[in-house]
Amino acid sequence: MIPDEVADYPPRPQVPAADQTLRILRHLAGRATPIAATALARELGIPRSTVYHLLATLEQHGFVVHLAQERRWGLGTSAFELAGGYARQEPLARLGRPVLAALADRVGESAHLAVMSGRDVLYIVEERAARRPALVTDVGVRLPAHLTATGRAMLAALPAAQVRALYPDASSFTDRTGRGPARPAELREVLRQVRRTGVATEDGEVTSGFRSVAAVVRDHAGWPAAAVAVTWEGESTGEHGSRVLEAARTLQSRLGFGER
């Protein structure tokens, strides 16, 4: 006779709706682009009516967004909030701190590490270089992603449809110094440049007189897990870009994500 605990292995979910909801979120997180609800139902083996009901609930809470023109679904800003919550804990900050310390020592400027949180970036590590001025990027500070080098580096790693969902129109854009993209078309052009060069920059768009350069850290699925940046006061320094990119790749490797 087969024992009950063996006959029921692996264990059946106690709350099927919760199991299906988590499977939907995991499936969306593993994809590079949004997906149609019918395809989602087929790939997960969940009834279409159930998928539509669960997606509607997830949309109400911001965990998914519906791209109506494309009839597809993607992750929403609340999903990024969860990812940022994990990132604010030990693994990313702990592994990132020595990488940023080495970067700050090498370039002689302050370095920081940020994660996405909705349309903001959240700074989780800052390594201030000796005799350098204090910055606005203290740990715990949020800044508009479209104005920061770290935010642009991560936005450029997202699918275009995801960026459109985050910035559907001009009302989505905030301003700090009167500089930077103020509408979707302008942001698209900025992100095209980031994808072309591999690094993101900003010049006086967060704080007048200060510049930053950043590079994205991708996770196992290619999504932006974080971004590494250096900020300095004064003229452009082209060599910082290659060193920031090297630091981002080092952190990506230490997190176990490897080259992408």
How is residue 94 written in tokens? 């702990």
Instruction: For 57, list phi and psi in degrees, rounded to 5.
Output: -70, -45
Contact of 150 with 200, CB cutoff 8 Å: yes
User: What's the confidence (pLDDT) of residue 5?
Assistant: 43
Q: pLDDT tens digits for the chain (260 residues)?
A: 444 444 444 455 677 888 899 999 988 887 778 899 999 999 999 999 999 999 999 998 888 888 888 889 988 877 766 665 655 555 788 889 999 999 999 999 999 999 988 889 989 888 887 666 566 566 678 899 999 999 999 999 998 888 998 899 999 998 888 888 999 999 999 999 999 999 999 998 998 889 999 999 998 878 898 999 999 987 776 789 999 999 999 999 988 886 65
User: What's the confidence (pLDDT) of residue 7?
Assistant: 45
How is residue 91 written in tokens? 């693994």
Nearby residues of 202 by Cβ (< 8 Å), 6 or more positions away? 147, 148, 149, 152, 180, 211, 212
User: What's the confidence (pLDDT) of residue 74?
Assistant: 87
Q: Point out which residues pair with 203 in neighbouring strands.
A: 211
User: What's the confidence (pLDDT) of residue 249?
Assistant: 95
All domains in the chain, ordered by first residue? 4-75 (1.10.10.10), 81-254 (3.30.450.40)
Q: How many C-beta neighbours within 10 Å does residue 30 have?
A: 11
Distances, alpha carbon 184 to alpha carbons 70, 121, 172, 190, 251, in Å: 18, 18, 9, 10, 31
Residue with tokens 């690094």: 199
Residue with tokens 């910082």: 240
How is residue 144 written in tokens? 């508009």
Tell me, rounded to whole angstroms, the distance of Cα 212 from its chain centroid: 18
DSSP 206: S
User: What's the confidence (pLDDT) of residue 191?
Assistant: 97
Contact of 136 with 207, CB cutoff 8 Å: yes
Of 116, 163, 143, 157, nearest in space to 231 by CA: 143
- Indicate the pTM of the whole model: 0.68
Q: Helices 16-29 and 37-44, interaxial angle, to 10°?
A: 110
Question: What is the number of H-type helices and E-type strands within the chain?
Answer: 10, 8
Rounded Cα distance, 215 and 242, in Å: 9
Q: Point out which residues pair with 111 in neighbouring strands.
A: 127, 230
208-255 pLDDT per residue, tens: 889 999 999 998 878 898 999 999 987 776 789 999 999 999 999 988
**3-class DSSP assignment, residue 103:** helix
